[in-house]
Structure 1
Amino acid sequence: MEEILDSFLDFLVVERGLSNNTVISYKNDLNQFINFLKNGGVNTFNEVNRANIISYLLFLQRKKRASSSILRSLAAIKTFYHFLLRERIIKEDPTFNLDTPKLERKLPRVLTVEEVEKLLASPDKEDLWGLRDRTMLELLYATGIRVSELISLKVEDVNLEMGYLKCMGKGSKERIIPIGSVAISFLNLYINEIRKKILKDKECNYLFFNHQGKSLTRQGFWKIIKKYARKANIKKEITPHTLRHSFATHLLENGADLRSVQEMLGHSDISTTQIYTHLTKSKIREVYDRTHPRA
């Protein structure tokens, strides 16, 4: 089973062109599925039936896995079985016409505009590293890019004159995203002055880097944003994606169309973007309840 899984992962890289992070996610989900099967006495993929898959999904629910995690696991299993059928490793696909369970999707936590302003203002602008951090936070909120995309940016990916950046998203898909005037002003200062001073005699192609002059890690950025959330006295739970979620929600609240937001976020499926419309609807309800005389 492990050899077949390795062949599938090679297929994802070579033929589908998926990113390393996505392939690792498939690998982890499918390894958990295989372990579940083996514990149930199923040792070949040909033995798997719909009942096995449904049992696995229920098992994940009992383990209190997030709905998004369960849906992702099912998507991985479906893609894997399509591959097995195509390669004639199996004769029948047990996932055929298997309905996706209607699981409640957890809405992402977002900041208010006022909370975003407090967070962005928290780095010390008198400190060179503080200016680096302010530039990163401004850029995240201005563009909605993922943290993994932020730390992968190169200097040449930013066009200050035209006011946009290009980044490589999931599945090696490149997209162009506009940058607002405030983020451009910080980027201009950072790239032309601050970056050279803190880099000193070190060389680094990445736009942002750590104290060793190497590219930032997700964990490194996670510590940075948590530090500034505490400093800004924000009580909400902050994640590396909080500014991305806030970016999308604030755009939709102010009249942006869903397709444009989908394009900027780099979502392949608009249903992923639609989760933010639930947030804006709840905001409308809140305003209505607070302001209408007969609410």
Structure 2
Amino acid sequence: MKSLPIYNHEYQKQIENFRNYLKALGLNEGSQNMLPSCVREFLNQIEKQGTQQIQNIRQSQIQSHYEYLQHRPNQRRIGNLSNSMLNHHMYAIRKFFNYLEQTNTITINPTSNIEFKRLKSKQREVLTTKEIKELYEAAATLRGKAILGIFYGCGLRRTEGEKLNMNDVNLKTKLLYVREGKGKRRRVIPINKQVNEDFKNYLYCERGEYITIKSPKDAFILNKKGNRMSGSSYNDTLKEIIQRTGDKELQAKEISLHNLRHSIATHLLENGLPVEYVRDFLGHQYLEATQIYTRVNFNKL
């Protein structure tokens, strides 16, 4: 969606202004990128229909776009967009027009009288400890094991993994520092013995192979070109590891980095760790978020 062309200068300007607005609100980098991307796809369709001014966009065009999205193929996997992604698209469009109304760019908000039923998202997959073990065994590189350690062993969010720097990982004290998590909250995560060993092996035995003249000195994980590893590259690496397991059932599941975070939270709770500890481990502000996040029966807590 980021590569979809927008030729209308007003549309280009408003997409960039919207991005800056989201940044000013303090939204995380993922939202700062994803929401404008959803708006870009919408305006790309509007531009094709011949509408060249934002104030001329009609409610019916938004409803038609919603219907289009329900049948649009998913660009990353077989099938259509998930309910969760459909919700994101419509949330982005509504927030965009609310922003335009607040800045007096438009006088009539075409989303004001539209009610989009929030679609129920598919319950996120939790990997079993056996499947996690399969992933570790299938990781062909030391970097692959380090990546599993970041998102499963330490339960980091995608954006937190992207920002991870060398000085955030203290192998001596076995502590990982999240300097700016969701809501700009900081936290310190204990690194278990095996994950610490995997980090050490990657850092001292393999990371040097990826370094180039242009490589950032502070990035903990580097990609094949020597650049800081992006969220999409992390996901691609995870998918490669999943394919190498040879486990057809595991391969059939929709697994992303967040599934690893979801899985470690569930496993910690199932093993009897207090929910308050898991809340701090995940970086949740409220206890309720941790309880909803996991799929553990509360009788086990």
- Would the TM-score normalized by the shorter structure come out above 0.5? yes
Is 1:83 aligned with 2:99? yes
Stretches of structure 2 that go unaligned for 5 or more consecutive residues are 1-9, 73-79
1-side partners of 2:222 and 2:231: how far apart? 12
Q: Which residue is 1:166 aligned to?
A: 178
Stretches of structure 1 that go unaligned for 5 or more consecutive residues are 125-129, 285-295
Give the RMSD, CA atoms, in angstroms.
Answer: 3.9
Is 1:215 aligned with 2:248? no
- The answer to whether the 8 A contact 1:175-1:264 is kept is no
Is 1:5 aligned with 2:15? yes
Q: Which moved more, 1:55-64 or 1:94-103?
A: 94-103
Count of matched residue positions in the alignment of Structure 1 and Structure 2: 275
2-side partners of 1:51 and 1:89: how far apart? 20
* Aligned with residue 233 of structure 1, among 227, 240, 246: 246
Which runs of structure 2 are paired with 1:1-295 in the superposition (5 Å)?
Answer: 1-2=10-11, 3-13=13-23, 15-18=24-27, 21-38=30-47, 42-48=51-57, 50-63=59-72, 64-96=80-112, 98-123=114-139, 130-160=141-171, 161=173, 163-169=175-181, 173-183=184-194, 185-186=196-197, 189-190=200-201, 193-194=204-205, 204-210=217-223, 213-218=226-231, 220-235=233-248, 236-237=250-251, 238-254=255-271, 264-265=281-282, 276-277=293-294, 279-280=295-296
What does the per-residue CA deviation read over 1:22-68, in whole Å, with 9 as the maximum and x for residues that have no partner?
Answer: 33322221122223444556543334454443333233223343211
2-side partners of 1:273 and 1:158: how far apart? 25
- The answer to whether the 8 A contact 1:107-1:275 is kept is no
1-side partners of 2:100 and 2:150: how far apart? 42
2-side partners of 1:267 and 1:19: how far apart? 14
Q: Aligned-pair distance for 1:209?
A: 2.2
2-side partners of 1:233 and 1:69: how far apart? 29
- The answer to whether the 8 A contact 1:163-1:178 is kept is yes
Q: Aligned-pair distance for 1:213?
A: 4.3
Q: Which residue is 2:76 aligned to?
A: none
1-side partners of 2:174 and 2:227: how far apart? 28
What does the per-residue CA deviation read over 1:114-164, in whole Å, with 9 as the maximum and x for residues that have no partner?
Answer: 11122223346xxxxx33432331232122213443243111112342633
Mark the CA change 1:59 to 1:262 in structure 2 (over 3 Å): closer, same or farther.
farther
Equivalent pairs: percent with the same residue? 26
What does the per-residue CA deviation read over 1:87-121, in whole Å, with 9 as the maximum and x for residues that have no partner?
Answer: 11223434347544131312223311111122223
Mark the CA change 1:264 to 1:44 in structure 2 (over 3 Å): closer, same or farther.
farther
2-side partners of 1:99 and 1:268: how far apart? 30
Mark the CA change 1:71 to 1:192 in structure 2 (over 3 Å): closer, same or farther.
closer
TM-score by length of 2: 0.71
Greater RCO, 1 or 2 (C-alpha within 8 Å, sep 6+): 1
What SS does structure 1 have at the residue aligned with 2:186?
A: strand
Q: Aligned-pair distance for 1:191?
A: 7.3
Mark the CA change 1:210 to 1:39 in structure 2 (over 3 Å): closer, same or farther.
closer
For the pair shown, which has the larger CA radius of gyration, 1 or 2? 1
Q: Which moved more, 1:146-155 or 1:32-41?
A: 32-41
- The answer to whether the 8 A contact 2:138-2:244 is kept is yes
